[in-house]
């Protein structure tokens, strides 16, 4: 017996926009990777729940003979839910190539769970050859995008976020069960730095700006600020040992800002600034927090 995908979904239940919104992804740099993670998350949820989430066409092959119940009745149980329709039932009888069972000769009981096919009333199915894949049922399973159960959609969304936050592991090991399996509570620890900041901690909407200095009509320097990015970040005052360590090289540093690295904010340097909720921070240092440079730690002093 085996299940083979014939025609896959043309849409995903989780849109790229909603996935990025939930995971607080501000850049388009990883859009292609995000779509791969969305598909991987949907397939994993389908495997775990034995469901086709989005409308798709499948072939279910049955070996040797018509399946029988304990009472000796012929019944084909379909391994995937929910089943929308039966396209065809073909079988090998040794006399003609792959005859098709007439629709009038079977009854399909299609449910959200436990769908099956039985002979129609007073009909006995033909004898089939005792060979592998002697019978093939082609059927349509799944639902339209707008009809997906909210619990399944949330599971896909949460799993997408899990994959994106651990994308170094997911992309290096492949999008299989090993990379998707929960890898322990809490957050990973990057080489040479502190723990990765979770999306829940990055809840401040920070504007990052770079300065452009020109000369005015009088020949005096004229500084203007240009916004290069607005994205989610953790903004926290330095306290205790953090402030003591920072003061060894930059005595005036008061604030730590942690945000996802991307092609835009990677251009930040000392002399630039960040603003949030009416506060302005002069950037003094920009540090990659882990070996894959997925996060930036920005040390700054609040401009009063």
Q: Is the pTM of this model over 0.75?
A: no
227 and 297: one domain? yes
128 and 261: one domain? no
| The 83-91 sheet, strands edge to edge | 2-7, 56-62, 135-141, 83-91
pLDDT the model gives residue 91 = 87
287 and 170: one domain? no
Domain boundary among the residues 130, 164, 180 is at 180
117 and 229: one domain? no
Position 185 in a domain = no
Specify the number of domains making up the chain. Answer: 3
Position 196 in a domain = no
88 and 121: one domain? yes
Tell me, what CATH number does 218's domain have? 2.40.10.270
28 and 111: one domain? no
pLDDT the model gives residue 191 = 39
114 touches 31 (CB < 8 A): no
pLDDT the model gives residue 214 = 80
pLDDT the model gives residue 99 = 87
Position 192 in a domain = no
285 and 212: one domain? yes
Enclosing domain of residue 152: 2-54+146-180
126 and 270: one domain? no
Q: What is the pLDDT along the chain (304 residues), one digit of tens a residue?
A: 689 999 999 999 999 999 999 988 888 888 999 999 999 999 999 999 999 999 999 999 988 877 776 567 888 889 999 999 999 998 888 776 788 889 999 999 998 888 999 999 888 887 787 788 888 999 999 999 889 999 999 999 999 988 888 776 555 455 554 445 544 333 333 333 455 677 778 888 999 999 888 877 777 778 889 999 999 999 998 875 555 555 555 557 889 999 988 888 988 999 899 999 999 999 999 988 766 677 889 999 987 7
165 and 208: one domain? no
Position 270 in a domain = yes
pLDDT the model gives residue 213 = 82
226 and 122: one domain? no
166 and 239: one domain? no
265 and 164: one domain? no
């Amino acid at each position: 017996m085996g299940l083979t995908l014939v025609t896959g979904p043309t849409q995903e239940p989780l849109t790229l926009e909603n996935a990025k919104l939930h995971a607080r992804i501000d850049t388009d740099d990883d859009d292609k990777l995000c779509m791969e993670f969305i598909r991987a998350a949907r397939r994993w949820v389908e495997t775990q729940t034995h469901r086709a989430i989005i409308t798709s066409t499948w072939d279910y092959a049955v070996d040797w003979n018509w399946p029988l119940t304990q009472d000796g009745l012929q019944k084909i149980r379909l391994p995937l839910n929910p089943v929308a329709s039966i396209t065809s039932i073909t079988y090998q009888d040794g006399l003609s190539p792959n005859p098709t069972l007439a629709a009038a000769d079977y009854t399909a009981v299609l449910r959200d769970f436990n769908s099956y096919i039985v002979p129609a009333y007073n009909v006995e199915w033909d004898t089939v050859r005792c060979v592998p894949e002697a019978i093939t049922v082609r059927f349509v399973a799944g639902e339209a995008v707008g009809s997906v159960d909210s619990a399944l959609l949330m599971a896909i969304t949460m799993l997408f976020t899990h994959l994106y936050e651990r994308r170094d592991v997911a992309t290096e090991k492949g999008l299989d069960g090993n990379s998707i399996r929960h890898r322990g509570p809490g957050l990973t620890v990057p080489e040479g730095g502190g723990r990765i900041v979770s999306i829940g901690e990055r809840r401040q909407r920070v504007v990052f700006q770079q300065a452009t200095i020109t000369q005015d009509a009088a020949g005096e320097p004229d500084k203007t600020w240009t916004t290069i990015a607005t994205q989610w970040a953790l903004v926290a005052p330095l306290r205790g040992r953090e402030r003591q360590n920072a003061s060894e090289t930059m005595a005036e540093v008061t604030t730590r800002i942690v945000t996802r690295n991307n092609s835009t904010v990677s251009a930040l340097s000392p002399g630039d600034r960040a603003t949030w909720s009416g506060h302005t921070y002069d950037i003094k240092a920009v540090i990659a927090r882990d070996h894959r440079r997925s996060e930036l730690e920005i040390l700054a002093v609040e401009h009063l």
